[in-house]
Amino acid sequence: MLHVATTGSDNADGSEGRPFRTINQAAAVAQPGDTVVVHAGEYREWVTPARGGLSDSRRITYTAADGEHVVIKGSEQVTGWESDGGDVWRVSVPNSLFGDFNPFAEEVGGDWIVYAKGAPHKHLGDVYLNGLSFYEVGSRDEVASATERTEVVDDWTAVTVPVTNVAQTGYVWFAEVGAEETTIWANFRGADPNASLVEINVRRSVFYPLVPHLDYITVRGFELAQAASPWTPPTADQPGLIGPNWAKGWIIEDNDIHDAKCSAISIGKEASTGHNFATLRGDKPGYQYQLESVFIARQLGWDKEHIGSHIIRRNTIHDCGQNGIVGHLGCVFSTIEDNHIYNIATKREFYGYEIGGIKLHAAIDVTIRHNNIHDCSLGTWLDWQTQGTRITRNVFHGNSRDLFIEVSHGPFLVDHNILGSTASFESFSQGGAFVGNLFAGTVWLQAVPDRATPYHRPHSTQVAGYAVIWGGDDRYLGNLFLGGDVTKAYGHGGNYTGEPAYHGLSGYNGFPASFAEYLAQVNSQEGDHQRFLNVKQAVYAGGNVFAGGAEPFDGEPDPLVLGDATVTVTRDGDEVWLETDLPAGFDQARLAPVSGRDLERVRFADADFEEPDGSPAQIGTDLVGAARDETSAAGPLAALASGRQRVRVW
């Protein structure tokens, strides 16, 4: 066992009596099977492990000492601020402070970032006053003229939403980078920066290897904060504040992770499979480079034996600019559970198409289980190759959008979740199964006939084929849908193609209601592939409940349609409660335990709904862990009933 303490020395031997001073010194000597115990205090370093473990039983573990608060930061404290008039102060720091990476010179940029024409680009630097993240402006004059903002426009939905990060209420900064020093101007709104803790981003990451394939590392019990992590699209290197850097078998647990400029935890790809080529070269769309990266990764050993199988659990992840958890390719076979994720991309300092509390591409056999995800621009976004993926027993609430699954062929299983925001679910995919969920808001359906994406052999990274997205091939059993105002959720009442969002499943109206009906329609057409082009895929629905104006799919036999209902997700400290007032007819709805054998196979991938070991998926446990039986109610809680109820769900 190796020890690290703020009172130690890197010339010591790392014993409990003679601890190291830096975590990096312990990381330089730690061997498979070792545990690095870090004692209370603040450590300003980027921990770069020299080696990983050899197996799950011979891993290298980094842990905070029992009962001790350990903080690792990517920032440095800055003193010597000089008044520049009013609330504005100025400081100049030598560029040697940053080494070869100056966040105030590095732009937030890459594939799928979006800047308005002529708008100044943001940078990876940041300023913090007693832990509060500031907001970058485009000139020194704007620092002095900063005014309070109480609301902003969500770029995706065009909805005006309240500001949730105090940094947007006038605490702003601007920087000029010279040859020898960087000068920062900041508006401290009456505070004296020389009498307070003022920090600036210095390091890109806080705990992240410099090289790939350092496997089986555990990081436990730390506060990890204030890193200048860059924009992480799926076509680029994806470094986060913390992450394995293209490896296998990491465990990241029981940490408080916050204030990553872009992404907090990365379980994503690295640069050799492509790095922002759409932006740098401009010769092909990002979609094409992303498709290429899948095949390049396979050539470089992207498989279960070498990549993924990470566990991310019981962390609190908050106040990050782009993602709480991000990953393309490197996230395969992983488990994300029991995390509390909030205030992700709510600062809205920059915008792009790769934002979410959880944002994964190629989430093959990934389990996202029992997380509390709220107050994010987008709760969870699963994009490309969502196959063998399970989203189960999560609580989504207060997000601009809860769940978005894009250009995937399935099978993926969404069961026993609360989707409690005004925009509950958006599907640009096919091949899903939805069992026992609460959809409190809208359901938005889109075909995507211009982007063919891969699907895989079951439980494998081997590519089996690729196809465009026609929509449908979905299964809905025993869900509860609520009505409401579509315009409230979407602002403009639809999307870029003019397709509306719906409360309920009426967006599927006109789809075949069985596979036999689908085949009959296909066989009535002429040609080979041509006969499939104008036939919608089947939708399988049964036992769903529609209340308060939500409407069923016209192919569902005997849906239960009820009158007014009220469902609210509320927070009381760290607790989350579901408050319901349902009409008496709700008690007619029953959802017995379901398994993968009860779900029609997915058409394109020709795959069943299975556990990662290949056995049929078991779907008999509700949101709070109760077992279902034949008397259980529809929706996420087996004991849900008519009348008023208040149930703790987190």
Q: Does residue 85 share a domain with residue 39?
A: no
Q: What is the pTM of this model?
A: 0.96
Q: Does residue 84 share a domain with residue 105?
A: yes
Average pLDDT (309-318) is 98
Average pLDDT (119-135) is 96
pLDDT of residue 533: 87
Question: Is residue 282 a part of any domain in this protein?
Answer: no
User: 471 with 505: CB under 8 angstroms?
Assistant: no
Domain end (from 160, 185, 201): 201
- Mean pLDDT (the chain, rounded): 94
Question: Sorting pLDDT into bands at 50, 70 and 90, what band is 397?
Answer: very high
Does 71 have pLDDT greater than 60?
yes
Q: Does residue 81 share a domain with residue 48?
A: no
Does 161 have pLDDT greater than 60?
no
Question: Is residue 138 a part of any domain in this protein?
Answer: yes
Give me the percent of the chain exceeding a pLDDT of 70: 94
Q: List all residues 6 or more positions away from 287 whose beta carbon is below 8 Å from its beta carbon.
A: 451
Domain end (from 14, 40, 67): 67
* CATH (domain of 94): 2.60.40.1180
Give me the percent of the chain exceeding a pLDDT of 90: 90
pLDDT of residue 472: 96
Question: Is residue 86 a part of any domain in this protein?
Answer: yes
User: 392 with 403: CB under 8 angstroms?
Assistant: no
Question: Is residue 219 a part of any domain in this protein?
Answer: no
Q: Does residue 84 share a domain with residue 49?
A: no
Question: Sorting pLDDT into bands at 50, 70 and 90, what band is 118?
Answer: confident
Q: Does residue 173 share a domain with residue 114?
A: yes
Question: Is residue 416 a part of any domain in this protein?
Answer: no
Q: Does residue 192 share a domain with residue 125?
A: yes
Question: Sorting pLDDT into bands at 50, 70 and 90, what band is 150?
Answer: low
- Report strand pairing: 263-266 vs 251-253: unpaired
Does 412 have pLDDT greater than 60?
yes
Average pLDDT (11-16) is 98
- Report strand pairing: 198-201 vs 223-227: unpaired
Question: Is residue 323 a part of any domain in this protein?
Answer: no
Task: Please give the structure tokens belonging to residue 201.
Answer: 């981003």
Average pLDDT (606-633) is 97
Q: Does residue 41 share a domain with residue 80?
A: no
Q: Answer with the residue of higher pLDDT: 364 or 161.
A: 364
Question: Is residue 230 a part of any domain in this protein?
Answer: no
- How many CB atoms are located within 10 Å of the residue 622 CB? 22
**What's the pLDDT tens digit per position in 264-293?**
999 999 999 999 999 999 999 999 999 999
Q: Does residue 83 share a domain with residue 163?
A: yes
Q: Does residue 82 share a domain with residue 193?
A: yes
pLDDT of residue 153: 55
Question: Sorting pLDDT into bands at 50, 70 and 90, what band is 152?
Answer: low
Count how many domains the chain has: 2
CB < 8 Å & 24+ apart, contacts of 49-55: 49/209, 49/214, 49/217, 51/214, 52/209, 52/213, 52/214, 52/215, 52/216, 52/217, 52/247, 53/215, 53/216, 53/217, 53/249, 54/215, 54/216, 55/216
pLDDT of residue 129: 97
pLDDT of residue 496: 42
pLDDT of residue 515: 96
Q: Considering only 51-60, 495-504, 552-561, which range has the smallest mean pLDDT?
A: 495-504
User: 62 with 37: CB under 8 angstroms?
Assistant: no
**DSSP, res 195:** G
pLDDT of residue 485: 78
pLDDT of residue 568: 96
Average pLDDT (457-482) is 97
Q: Does residue 91 share a domain with residue 58?
A: no
pLDDT of residue 148: 59
Question: Sorting pLDDT into bands at 50, 70 and 90, what band is 491?
Answer: very low
Q: Does residue 132 share a domain with residue 92?
A: yes
pLDDT of residue 494: 38
User: 493 with 484: CB under 8 angstroms?
Assistant: no
Question: Sorting pLDDT into bands at 50, 70 and 90, what band is 484?
Answer: confident
Q: Does residue 80 share a domain with residue 51?
A: no
**What's the pLDDT tens digit per position in 203-256?**
999 999 999 999 999 999 999 999 999 999 999 999 999 999 999 999 999 999
Question: Is residue 431 a part of any domain in this protein?
Answer: no
pLDDT of residue 492: 36
CB < 8 Å & 24+ apart, contacts of 152-159: 152/348, 154/348, 154/377, 154/400, 155/114, 155/348, 155/351, 156/377, 156/378, 156/400, 156/401, 157/400, 157/401, 157/423, 157/489, 157/490, 157/491, 158/490, 158/491, 158/492, 159/400, 159/489, 159/490, 159/491
Domain end (from 183, 201, 219): 201
Domain hosting 147: range is 76-201
